[in-house]
Amino acid sequence: MSDLAIYQSALRELLRPKRLLIAVLLCLLPAVYALILRNSSDTYNALDTYNELMKQFVFNYILVLLALVFSTGAITQEVEQKTIVYLLTRPVPRWRILLMKFAAVMTITTCTVWLSTILLAGVCFGVGGLKTSYAIAPSQIKDQKQFVLNLKDTPNMALIGLHERFTPQTQKFLDNYSGENVPDSSSIATTVAELNGMIRAGSLYNKEAYEGIKLPAEVQAQVGKNLSGNELEKFNRGLIQALLPDTLLPAGGNSVQFWRDLLVLPVGVLAYGSLFLCLATLFLRPLVGGLIFAFGWESWVPNMPGYFGRFSLATYLRVLAPHADAANGTDAGGILSQLTQSGGDEITQLFAWSALAVIIGIALSTALTVFSNKEYVPREDV
Amino acid sequence: MSLSQNPMMNAAISPPSNAGAMISLERASRWYNQVIGINDVTCKIPTGITALLGPNGAGKSTMLKLITGQLKPTTGQVTIFGMKPFANPNVYRRMGYCPEIENNYDEMTGRQFVTMLGAMAGIGRNELGKRVNDAIEQVGMTANGDRKIGGYSKGMRQRIKVAQGIIHRPDILVLDEPLNGLDPIGRRDMMNVLNDFASEGKGVLISSHILYEVEQMTSNILLMSKGRLLAQGNIYQIRGLIDKHPHRISIETNTPRPLASLLLSLPFILSVKFDRENPRMMEIETLEPDKFYSQFPEIIMAENLSVDSFDSPDNNLEAVFKYLITG
Question: Of the candidates A278, A281, A262, A273, which has an alpha carbon nearest to the alpha carbon of residue A69?
Answer: A273
Reported confidence tier of residue B241, pLDDT bands at 50, 70, 90: low
Flag whether pLDDT at A212 surpasses 80. no
**A281 and A172 inside one domain:** no
Residue A254, pLDDT > 70, answer no
Statement to judge: residues A170 and A126 lie in one domain? no
pLDDT digits (tens, 9 = 90+) for A360-373: 999 999 999 999 99
What domain range is A147 assigned to? Answer: 138-243
pLDDT one-digit tens code per residue, B148-176: 999 998 888 999 999 999 999 999 999 99
Q: Are residues A263 and A363 in the same domain?
A: yes
Domain boundary among A243, A278, A303: A243
Residues A123, A165 within the same domain: no
Q: Clarify whether residues A115 and A257 are in a common domain.
A: yes
Count of domains observed in chain A: 2
pLDDT per position as a tens digit, A348-357: 889 999 999 9
Gyration radius (Cα) of chain B, Å: 22
Based on the domain organization, do A183 and A117 belong to the same domain?
no
User: In this structure, is residue A348 part of a structural domain?
Assistant: yes
Which chain A positions have a beta carbon within 8 Å of B100's beta carbon? 381
In chain B, the domains with their CATH numbers are: 3-238 (3.40.50.300), 245-326 (3.30.70.100)
Instruction: Dump the DSSP string for A3-24.
Output: HHHHHHHHHHHHT-HHHHHHHH
Task: List pLDDT tens digits, range A132-176.
Answer: 557 776 667 878 888 888 887 667 777 777 788 888 888 888 888
Structural contact between residues A282 and A369, judged by C-beta atoms closer than 8 angstroms: no
- Smallest CA–CA distance, residue B7 to chain A, in Å, is 31
Last residue of a domain, one of A186, A211, A243: A243
The answer to whether A85 contacts B62, with C-beta atoms less than 8 Å apart, is no
Q: Which of A1, A90, A91 is nearest residue B124 as measured by Cβ atoms?
A: A1
* Torsion, CA A54, CA A59, CA A61, CA A64, rounded to 10: 160
In this structure, which amino acid lies at residue A300? W
Asked if residue A113 and residue A169 are part of one domain, the reply reads no
| pLDDT tens-digit map of A47-105 | 778 888 998 899 999 999 999 999 998 888 888 888 899 999 999 999 999 999 999 99
Rounded to two decimals, the ipTM of the complex is 0.76
* Residue A248 lies inside a defined structural domain of this protein: no
Nearest CA to A71 among A31, A17, A112?
A: A112
Amino acid B85: pLDDT:
95
B20 versus A241: the higher-pLDDT residue is A241
Please give the Cα distance from A308 to A334 (Å, whole number): 16
**Distance, CA of A162 to CA of A271 (rounded, Å):** 49
pTM: 0.73
Q: Say how far apart CA A123 and CA A133 lie, in whole Å.
A: 18
Q: Are residues A290 and A366 in the same domain?
A: yes
A349 and A368 in a single domain? The answer is yes
pLDDT, tens digit, for every residue of B288-317?
A: 877 887 788 888 888 888 888 777 766 555
Least confident of A109-123, A306-320, B193-207, B210-224: B210-224
Asked whether residue A259 falls in the same domain as residue A127, the answer is yes
pLDDT of residue A177: 87
What integer pLDDT is reported at residue B83 of this predicted model? 95
Mean pLDDT of B117-122: 92
What does the alpha-carbon distance between residue B293 and residue B251 come to, in Å, rounded to a whole number?
Answer: 12
Which positions in chain B have a beta carbon within 8 angstroms of at least one beta carbon in chain A?
Answer: 32, 37, 61-62, 65, 68-72, 87, 89-90, 92-93, 95, 97, 99-101, 103-105, 107-108, 116-117, 119-125, 164, 168
Which residue on chain B is closest to A80 by alpha carbon?
Answer: B103
Domain final residue pick, A198, A220, A243: A243
CA distance B282 to chain A (A): 37
Lowest mean pLDDT among A184-193, A321-330, B135-144: A321-330
Confidence of residue A43 (pLDDT cuts 50, 70, 90): low
Task: Compute the average pLDDT of residues B72-91.
Answer: 95
Span B45-56, average pLDDT: 89
A179 occurs within a structural domain: yes
Same domain, A126 and A260: yes
**Residue A314 counted as domain residue:** yes
Residue B18, pLDDT > 70, answer no
Same domain, A123 and A189: no
Residue B105: how many CA atoms within 13 Å on its side-chain side? 26
